[in-house]
Amino acid sequence: VQTRAMSHEQNVLRSSWRGGVPCEVRLHAGDVASVTGPEPIFLMLKRNSYLPVALKPALEVFAEFVLETPAEASELWFETEMVTAKEDRPQMTALALNWHIPSGVLYDLVNSSAADERASGAHQRPWRIIVHFQGLPSSEVPRCTPAAMRSFFFNAVKQALYIESGSVQRWFGLPVAKQDQLYEGLVAGDVDVFLSPHASIATPLEELKQIPVRVLGCSGALSSGTSGPNEPGVALQSFVQLALPPKLSVGALIELVRSRCGGDFEDAKAVVNGVAVEDDWRLLETWKTLQCPDHFLYFLIRNKVG
């Protein structure tokens, strides 16, 4: 029975890795240095990946149309346009995207925020993403380089491992070659390449003390900011990071969010990796099947509207 359960959990986990979001990727007009700019590129964005690596095919094409200098290459950033409601009228709002949040979580958050505003056209399909190679709004999103991406991901994994067992010894015992393989699996979106070295750092259930959880939406998904030089817009707020008992239910998590963050959560629903989870689901089973590659379980809490 235990073997069948583990097999089912592995199948669900693999399915979550195969999940994707259809995207339309465009180069911002202000970045075009040639007579004509590139056509938009349509691709399937891996939910468990991150924008800098998931959009690499598009970035390689767009690089031929921009001025290639080290300074501009280090100012890569992404934005989307979201329909929001202001004074009961829908309007387009620019939104700078935090690349260090998994792509699927970003998509769910952007669409949930639009829906919470009761705006039309909330669910973008394909999701329209605009790429910038200059004008980084550094007060809103961190600088994006290959080294920063790798470092951020590894640090997130180490944080999660410490929450799980109170130790990161397994990570420090992982050979550099296996660390490289782990990251290669993430970049390639290949669950088999990723899970092979991952088995060496996974916390055994008998040693699991707490579940690493990140909650978005409890203090409002959006905050005032700028989406570019002197351009009004919004930016994603940070998540709330929690360490929670494995036996806690999703309903209890929502109660915890209500007590810590305030707001009206009477009809709140939780979404994890695109899946609407029920209040009676336990965190342990949800984490084993829907955790992101960094080991965190990302909960999007949808506020009650009206």
Query: With bands split at pLDDT 50, 70 and 90, how would you rate the model's confidence at 272?
Result: very high
DSSP per-residue string spanning 164-186 = HHS--HHHHTS-HHHHHHHHHHH
Q: What is the pLDDT of residues 145-171, one digit of tens each?
A: 889 999 999 999 999 999 999 999 999
Rounded to whole angstroms, what are the CA distances from 159 to 35, 120, 166, 266, 294? 47, 39, 10, 32, 9
Predicted confidence at residue 220, as pLDDT, reads 41
Predicted confidence at residue 75, as pLDDT, reads 87
Q: Which two tokens stand for residue 183?
A: 């990251």
Predicted confidence at residue 222, as pLDDT, reads 36
CB 293 within 8 A of CB 161: no
Domains of the chain from N-terminus onward: 2-9+12-132 (3.10.20.620)
d(CA 194, CA 174): 13
Per-residue pLDDT averaged across 192-206, rounded?
94
Predicted confidence at residue 128, as pLDDT, reads 94
Any idea which residue has 């004074």 for tokens? Answer: 87
Query: With bands split at pLDDT 50, 70 and 90, how would you rate the model's confidence at 120?
Result: very low
Helix (H, G, I), strand (E, B) or coil at 77: strand
Query: With bands split at pLDDT 50, 70 and 90, how would you rate the model's confidence at 27?
Result: very high
Q: Which two tokens stand for residue 22?
A: 């259809």
d(CA 55, CA 22): 12
Query: With bands split at pLDDT 50, 70 and 90, how would you rate the model's confidence at 144?
Result: confident
Rounded to whole angstroms, what are the CA distances from 194 to 14, 65, 151, 182, 197? 11, 33, 17, 5, 6
User: Is pLDDT above 70 for 226?
Assistant: no
Q: Percent of the chain beyond pLDDT 70?
A: 78
Predicted confidence at residue 142, as pLDDT, reads 87
d(CA 178, CA 158): 15
Higher pLDDT, 109 or 174: 174
Give phi and psi for 167, each to the nearest 5.
-150, 150
Predicted confidence at residue 213, as pLDDT, reads 95
d(CA 279, CA 250): 5
Predicted confidence at residue 232, as pLDDT, reads 32
Predicted confidence at residue 221, as pLDDT, reads 37
Per-residue pLDDT averaged across 103-117, rounded?
74
Q: Percent of the chain beyond pLDDT 90?
A: 53
Mean pLDDT (the chain, rounded): 82
Higher pLDDT, 58 or 140: 58
Q: How far apart are the first and last CA of the chain?
A: 46
Dihedral class, residue 122 (left if φ above 0, else alpha if ψ from -120 to 50, else beta): alpha
Query: With bands split at pLDDT 50, 70 and 90, how would you rate the model's confidence at 2?
Result: very low
Per-residue pLDDT averaged across 28-40, rounded?
92
Q: Which two tokens stand for residue 253?
A: 């998590």
